[in-house]
Amino acid sequence: MRLILLGAPGAGKGTVAKLLTQLDGSVQISTGDILRSAVREGSDLGKKAQGYMTRGELVPDALIMGIMGERLMENDCKSGFLLDGFPRTIPQAEELKILLEKLHITLDFVVNLNVPKNIILDRLTTRRTCSNPECQAIYNIKSMPSKVEGICDKCGSPTIQRDDETEEAITKRLDTFNEQTAPLVDFYNNEGLLLDINATSSDAVVSAIRERLGS
């Protein structure tokens, strides 16, 4: 499958993407994960992106398009992909359209994960992420705690709160989303590609996507 996952921070794009990869070998492409690993490695890209990310702002479109232009040409994308956190602005969506045409790739559709704001806020402040870069499993201290508090079930590394998950950065990320990313819902609706889902449970989201795919 070839899908874009849209939704506010904390809407569950990453969780849904991981579930979908298990269905047919499509790969999850998360610009947030790519950027965080660049920051950890201290690469050029990482140095350029770090400040924006910590402040809860978007990284400039040109940097993101550079990453995605290369990523979509890699071999593993041939079996399908789930774009998680990209595109995030109208210019990114327009450039993606041109890029996909050039690569002769057709999207199946674009999923909009609709989650009430109070649930989003609650999820973001209670989210914990495995600190092991190879693992990055996601937990929630209320709804999906690890078996041992603060320790990843999968790999035993400490689970941490991301540094953009302070209350201040979260508020900023939600504002950024409303201003710059929410308009993509109309953009893809006009393209006839939108599937809007009430996304309070990730299993229900996966079922709705499978139904639309006819699988």
Name the residue among 82, 139, 113 with its Cα closest to residue 11: 113
Report the C-alpha gap between 166 and 56 in whole angstroms. 10
DSSP per residue, 174-212: HHHIIIIITHHHHHHHHTT-EEEEE-SSHHHHHHHHHHH
Report the C-alpha gap between 1 and 206 in whole angstroms. 12
Residue 132 as a binder of Zn ion (CB under 5 A): the answer is: yes
- Which partner from the list Zn ion, ligand ADP, none does 137 bind, CB cut-off 5 to 8 Å by kind? Zn ion
Q: Contacting ligand ADP (CB under 6 A), which of 1, 56, 96, 128? A: 56
Which H/E stretch holds residue 80? none
Report the C-alpha gap between 203 and 48 in whole angstroms. 36
Residue 52 as a binder of ligand ADP (CB under 6 A): the answer is: yes
Contact 129, 162 (CB under 8 A): yes
Q: Contacting ligand ADP (CB under 6 A), which of 9, 20, 80, 188? A: 9
- What is the edge-to-edge ordering of all strands in the sheet holding 194-198? 27-30, 81-84, 2-7, 109-114, 194-198
For ligand ADP (CB under 6 A), the number of binding residues is: 18
Instruction: Name the catalytic one among 13, 36, 123, 128.
Output: 13
Name the residue among 21, 33, 38 with its Cα closest to residue 77: 21
Shortest distance, position 68 Cβ to ligand ADP, whole Å = 8
- Which partner from the list Zn ion, ligand ADP, none does 64 bind, CB cut-off 5 to 8 Å by kind? ligand ADP
Residue 31 as a binder of ligand ADP (CB under 6 A): the answer is: yes
Residue 144 as a binder of Zn ion (CB under 5 A): the answer is: no
Instruction: Name the catalytic one among 2, 48, 97, 162.
Output: 162
- Which partner from the list ligand ADP, Zn ion, none does 85 bind, CB cut-off 5 to 8 Å by kind? ligand ADP
Active site residues: 13, 88, 127, 162, 173
Q: Which residues bind ligand ADP (CB under 6 A)?
A: 9, 31-32, 35, 52-53, 56-59, 64, 85-88, 92, 164, 173
